[in-house]
Amino acid sequence: MASPKKTSKNASASKGAKNVVCIGLNIPTVGQYSCGWTEKYMQSKGFKGSSVLMDPGSADVNAAVLQAAASGADTILVNLPAGLAVGFLKAAQEQNLRDNFTWISSTPLYDRAIPGMLGDYWHGHMTVNIELTPLDGTGPDATNWREVMDKYAGAKDKRDTFSESGYLSAKFFVDAMLKLDPAKIDRASVTKAVRDIKNEKSDLLCGPYYVGDGDRHMPNHANMMAEVVKDGFKTVAKCSDVDSAYLEPVRADEKRLGITR
């Protein structure tokens, strides 16, 4: 699940959000963690943040919509898997709540099928954190990623941010392996090669990629925002680094490792 910290930061900066309610699932790393950090970020800026967390085994989107509407928020952050997010937004549409709030979402809604699934009601009214760069990017890695998917993946396999991320992981790993002496490849040499990945660049990323040996690994903390429009997405915020206290130890590690941004 993509981080809603990034999404709430961009919403606060560009859309004037002062009270954000995060809609998530009550499971580790999604509920108290990711929505919880959204609350912390908003509070650190003197604003308000709250969460509506659903049971993943029996998610009640109608109840969640009513809770969100009654929260006092001016902005609703949808931090759900794509299918459940669409269900939540359809329930909000039935209540005709679109114009009552600013609507933002984490990365799962950045999927080519989403504009058609949501329909005209939501076009121009939902902003999504796309985490990497646009799916239709013209850079060499974006182009190669689509070529690889078209040649080797199934027609129903998603062409989304998570697919881009998998491509990048494979690319950086292979590049690291190609630097090794084939006669000396073992667990230790492979581990060292992976940890030594540093300052890798790609047109799919807003910043450098690295691994290193820190306690936390979060090299991708710059991102973009896109608006759901008819037949696709329109980029509305270019690469911007995340403003969050959560990243303080990450940035300290980057300084130690010599990561250049």
Residue 26, pLDDT above cutoff 80 = yes
What pLDDT does 6 receive? Answer: 53
Are the C-beta atoms of 149 and 166 separated by less than 8 Å? no
Q: What are the angstrom distances between the C-alpha of 97 and each of 40, 68, 73?
A: 26, 10, 12
What pLDDT does 34 receive? Answer: 81
Tell me the β-bridge partners of 127: 104, 227
Walk across the sheet containing 232-241 and list its strands: 48-54, 19-25, 75-78, 102-105, 126-129, 222-229, 232-241
Confidence (pTM): 0.85
Residue 37, pLDDT above cutoff 90 = no
Residue 197, pLDDT above cutoff 60 = yes
Sorting pLDDT into bands at 50, 70 and 90, what band is 92?
very high
Sorting pLDDT into bands at 50, 70 and 90, what band is 2?
very low
Of the given ranges (105-114, 123-132, 175-184, 245-254), which has the lowest mean pLDDT?
A: 245-254
Residue 258, pLDDT above cutoff 50 = yes
Q: Which domains are present in the chain?
A: 4-134+221-243 (3.40.50.2300)
What pLDDT does 186 receive? Answer: 96
> What number of CA atoms fall less than 13 Å from residue 10's CA on the CB side?
28
Residue 219, pLDDT above cutoff 60 = yes
Q: How far is Cα 156 from Cα 51, in angstroms, rounded to an integer? A: 33
Of the given ranges (30-39, 89-98, 133-142, 204-213), which has the lowest mean pLDDT?
A: 30-39
Residue 32, pLDDT above cutoff 70 = no
Residue 60, pLDDT above cutoff 80 = yes
